[in-house]
């Protein structure tokens, strides 16, 4: 999915079509996976009262966030509607 020309400017496609993924989807999924970590860590500190890091939970949170975002984008249309109906 390369750039499209619009009056002399290049416009990159932000969202992919339904049942497809582009590079932007993978990059955003990686960002979601990275940003989910502090939230999960703060939750574990508050709920347990311990500052210990459970690396299994960190990895599980990253993989879950990454896969969840990729799956959501795979089933979304180019205007963000899941399965073309919701959103």
Select the more confidently predicted residue: 81 or 75.
75
Q: Does 58 score more than 80 pLDDT?
A: yes
Q: Does 55 score more than 70 pLDDT?
A: yes
Average pLDDT over residues 51-74: 90
Q: Does 63 score more than 60 pLDDT?
A: yes
Supply the DSSP string of 11-53, one letter for each residue: E---SPPTT---HHHHHHHHHHHHHHHHHHHHHHHHHH-----
Q: What is the pLDDT of residues 20-39, one digit of tens each?
A: 898 989 999 999 999 888 88
């Amino acid at each position: 999915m390369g750039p499209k020309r619009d009056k002399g400017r290049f416009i990159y496609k932000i969202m992919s079509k339904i049942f497809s993924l582009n590079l932007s989807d993978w990059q955003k999924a990686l960002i979601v996976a990275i940003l989910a970590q502090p939230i999960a860590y703060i939750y574990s500190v508050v709920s347990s009262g311990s500052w210990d890091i459970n690396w299994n939970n960190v990895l599980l949170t990253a993989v879950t966030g990454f896969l969840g975002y990729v799956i959501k984008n795979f089933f979304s249309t180019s205007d963000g509607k899941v399965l073309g109906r919701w959103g």
